[in-house]
Structure 1
Amino acid sequence: MEHDGQLELYAAVADQLKEAHTRVRALQVPEGVRMALTRKLLVITAAAKHDLADAARRLERFTADLDEGRIPDEER
C-alpha cells in the first residue's frame, strides 16, 4: 500500500511541476528572470528523482513565492 501512496505523490508532483512551468512561461517578466525561475524548477525536478518529499516541499515553496509575487530580480 505504501507503494500506491508514493505513486500518487509522484503524480501530484508531476502535475504541479507542469502547472508551475506553465505559470512561469506566462509571466510578463524579463527573459533573465524567466530563465532563473525555470532553472529553479529544473532543480526541483532533479531533486524529485532522489527525494520526492523534499522536492514536493520545494515546489510548494516555489509556488507560494509565485502566488505572493516574490519573483527574483533579473540576473546580470
Structure 2
Amino acid sequence: MERDSQLKIYGQVADQLKEAHSRVRALQVPDGVRMALNRKLLVVTATAKHDLPGAARRLDRLMKDLDEGRFPEGD
C-alpha cells in the first residue's frame, strides 16, 4: 500500500516537473532569471531522489511563484 502512494506522488511530481520546465522555457525573461529558475528545477529533481514529499512542496512553491509572476534575481 505504501509503495502505491509513493508511486502516485512520484507520478504527480514528474508531471508537475514537466509542466514547470515547459513554463520556464516559454517565459520571456532575461537569461540570468531563466538560469536561476532552471537551478531551482534541478534542486527539486535532486530532492525528489531522497525526499519526495519535500520535492513536491518545493515544486508547489515554485509553481505558485511562477503563477504570481515572482521570479528570482538573475546573475
SS at match of 2:23: helix
Aligned residue pairs, count:
75
- State the Cα deviation string for residues 2-35 of structure 1 (Å, max 9, x = none): 1101001000000000100000000000111101
Partners of 2:72 and 2:24 in 1: CA distance? 12
> 2:10 maps to which residue?
10
* 2:22 matches 1:22: yes
Partners of 2:55 and 2:74 in 1: CA distance? 24
- The letter for the 1-side match of 2:65 is D
Mapping for residues 1-76 of structure 1, pairs under 5 Å: 1-75=1-75
- State the Cα deviation string for residues 39-68 of structure 1 (Å, max 9, x = none): 100000000000000000000000000001
TM-score normalised by length of structure 2:
0.97
Query: What are the ranges of 5 or more consecutive residues in structure 1 without an aligned counterpart?
Result: none
Partners of 2:49 and 2:72 in 1: CA distance? 26
Q: Superposition RMSD on alpha carbons, in Å?
A: 0.6
TM-score normalised by length of structure 1:
0.96
Instruction: Spell out structure 1 runs of 4+ moving beyond 4 A.
Output: none
